Structure 1
């Protein structure tokens, strides 16, 4: 979730960092500013001269601690420390899913993230090594995003909709009602987030499970691996209709009659059935030029 602005965020929006660097080397003077959920502004004197990796916490997380070998969701901003130019970033596209291992993240980023909590913003600066983008010193800012909905429980769902139960990790199951399936699209918030509202042209990052209305059995789920996925709502018009204006951090139940197209999520086996999706909205971004 792209965390809302709070008192702690305002207090830490601009922070002069003093992190860990080499024992005989003064830490670099790096300032990171910006609100949670937004791309950071990073200020330092170029060219950045480092002989060892520097890392610091811009603000701590308030969510669960990251666990080795488990998926994590990250927004990132990487600059070339020689001139401050942007190398690449995810804030204008969608966050990336990685596994908390040295093999997936590399030793430096793994050490920066290890022991941190969801919601943290971190900065690391690495000296130039190797070739390509690694030939120059890099400054990286990372936001650790939740991999499940976070917010306030919504008012009780309608009695004619399936009951939802969540595992300790957040994976949903449903209990079929045994009742007649609705003929219209239904969107029922289960958890209300406080992040950015979804727009029709957005690329969303979600966890979801799809169920049969009739049996309650799951037919598709990101929770099998616990890895969020990102896609354009324009590719799934039914989801677009259901998720527009829902805030990031929400969990939403969407009941889809067979008369509604499901795009890439369509299952031939369920072609004539009503299906139920339980969707955790983790992030959203509007492509450049959309709506202009």
Structure 2
């Protein structure tokens, strides 16, 4: 995904200050770097009769697919006084299904047809359905749901990884003996933030048996990324210093606890994880939010759009 410089876009919306004698066009200014929380400037309080959305900058990655997961960061403010209601930049991105049923009609229309890398602005009236009693200003960043980076030739003796069109991996087992120690091998080298100890990571992954190559657990079944703390899976601490955007093979000998529920057939076996690193954030616990301690299958914190 290409990098963009600082962006400040004044968006003329049909919104009005509640104290204004008549309707007038006001500006909502969104600034900030890609991958960082936005800064939003506008006159408060705002009132708007219907939802308005616009593209702050377009994405250059894959187009979002109807009925499939979309991964977004969001910043949602109460437009009456510009207070932050909810946001994901200090915790972890949110995975949602691209459908009106899952997102609601307004957010669905905002995201529909967009590409990975886009930054979007949505201004909505109070929904009047009990979800909120105030209008909202929301900025959304569309994030990738699969790794993308420079291919790295794997070392000899490791399983061969093949990717399907949607990015889901399969492996051809190696005929060699499995390594006795924990082993990491980059398959794609990303360019994002490096994973730090104790981070909460957002990933797609599949776990395989070294011996048979058969998968035993995968997020690709639904295609929805998950998130969890590295501290909850000791073997995955080997991902520290790997850059976000990478795809990494992690070979785990049976001496390491995995943090997953294994079948009897996997007990005492070496397993192979193919992991797409989509985001990594320092573990923080803002008010009303907490990292999920269950791993690898984590959870998401849905946006509230009404």
After TM superposition, the score normalised by the length of structure 1 is 0.91
Unaligned runs of 5+ in 2: 17-22, 286-306
In structure 2, C-alpha distance between the alignment counterparts of 1:88 and 1:268, rounded to whole Å = 42
Give the Å deviation of 1:26.
Answer: 5.6
C-alpha deviations, 1:68-114, integer Å up to 9, x for none? 11111111110000000000011111111111111111111111011
CA change 1:88–1:14 in 2 (3 A) is same
Residue 194 of structure 2: aligned partner: 197
Identify the match of residue 256 of structure 1 among 247, 252, 255: 252
Check if 1:188 corresponds to 2:188: no
Residue 240 of structure 2: aligned partner: 244
* 3-state SS, counterpart of residue 265 of structure 2: helix
C-alpha deviations, 1:9-52, integer Å up to 9, x for none? 21x52221246889xx7654111111111111111000012112
RMSD over aligned Cα, in angstroms?
A: 2.1
In structure 2, C-alpha distance between the alignment counterparts of 1:142 and 1:126, rounded to whole Å = 13
Residue 228 of structure 2: aligned partner: 231
* 3-state SS, counterpart of residue 103 of structure 1: helix
Residues 58, 122 of structure 1: 8 Å contact kept? yes
Residue 168 of structure 1: aligned partner: 165
Give the Å deviation of 1:133.
Answer: 5.3
In structure 1, C-alpha distance between the alignment counterparts of 2:232 and 2:7, rounded to whole Å = 36
C-alpha deviations, 1:102-155, integer Å up to 9, x for none? 11111111110111111111010011231555311100111111110011112x
Q: Residues 51-62 of structure 1 correspond to what in structure 2 (within 5 A)?
A: 51-62=49-60
C-alpha deviations, 1:164-190, integer Å up to 9, x for none? 100000000111112111101110000
In structure 2, C-alpha distance between the alignment counterparts of 1:253 and 1:116, rounded to whole Å = 30
Residues 20, 56 of structure 1: 8 Å contact kept? no
Residue 116 of structure 2: aligned partner: 118
Residues 21, 53 of structure 1: 8 Å contact kept? no
In structure 2, C-alpha distance between the alignment counterparts of 1:99 and 1:288, rounded to whole Å = 26
CA change 1:20–1:120 in 2 (3 A) is farther
In structure 2, C-alpha distance between the alignment counterparts of 1:18 and 1:168, rounded to whole Å = 40
Unaligned runs of 5+ in 1: none
In structure 2, C-alpha distance between the alignment counterparts of 1:180 and 1:259, rounded to whole Å = 16
Q: Residues 1-292 of structure 1 correspond to what in structure 2 (within 5 A)?
A: 6=3, 9-10=4-5, 13-18=7-12, 27-130=25-128, 132=130, 134-154=132-152, 156-240=153-237, 242-264=238-260, 266-288=262-284
Higher helix share: 1
C-alpha deviations, 1:228-269, integer Å up to 9, x for none? 1101110001101x1101111000000111111112355543
